[in-house]
Amino acid sequence: MAKRLFDIVCAGLGLLLLSPLLLAVALWVNLDSPGPVLFRQQRVGRFGRPFLIHKFRTMRMDAPALGPQITVGADARITRAGAFLRSAKLDELPQLWDVLRGAMSLVGPRPEVPRYVAMYPAELRELVLSVRPGITDPASLQFRNESELLAAAADPEREYVEVVMPAKLRLAAGYVREAGLWTDLRLIVATLGVLGQRSSE
């Protein structure tokens, strides 16, 4: 209950305080390339229930037909605005709405698409999906340069499935076992610190 109340208060304040930035980003995305401002995609949430995640659109409208669901390096499908939004993680801001409506939490295992969740080992799937997925988690911090990591692999899709995803799952499982308000606060502070470093680069 305390975690949910914390999520509601922080997400509500975040949406209110960041509303000018959200409007500016929405306008930029709209002017930069044709298509909707928001990108919606089905992800797997708590207890395996599907939900639609919201992000600012950072790719061309025909992106799904042109490549895999993972993003690799300087992906040609990414728009000019999208490249900056991804680097600064501003594309994730609409997920504050997903937190407010109860589909997500500020901190929790990052939600995956159904295709990859189907590959989870049964025991880890049950554990990781026992909590709401989050905007940030330990795996988000450790693999913040995931796109570049996959770009260096001979087979990015295989690298993700066989190396990156299992490592993310282990980190997610560790978070779930130790989850608490103080753990969440530390992860939020760490995430903000990383964003600060990236914005100053």
Please give the pLDDT value at position 147: 83
Q: Which two tokens stand for residue 52?
A: 């639609």
The pLDDT score that the predictor gives to residue 73 is 63
Give the model's pLDDT for residue 101. 97
- The predicted pLDDT at position 201 comes to 46
Rounded to 10 deg, the angle between the 181-199 and 2-17 helix axes is: 30
pTM, to two decimals = 0.88
The pLDDT, as a whole number, for residue 195 is 74
What is the torsional sign of CA 65, 69, 73, 74?
Answer: positive
Question: What is the DSSP annotation of 18-30?
Answer: THHHHHHHHHHHH
Q: In the chain, which residues have pLDDT < 50? A: 199-201
| DSSP track, 86-144 | HHHTGGGTTHHHHHHTTS-EEESPPP--HHHHTTS-HHHHHHHTTS--EEE-HHHHHTT
pLDDT at 69: 65
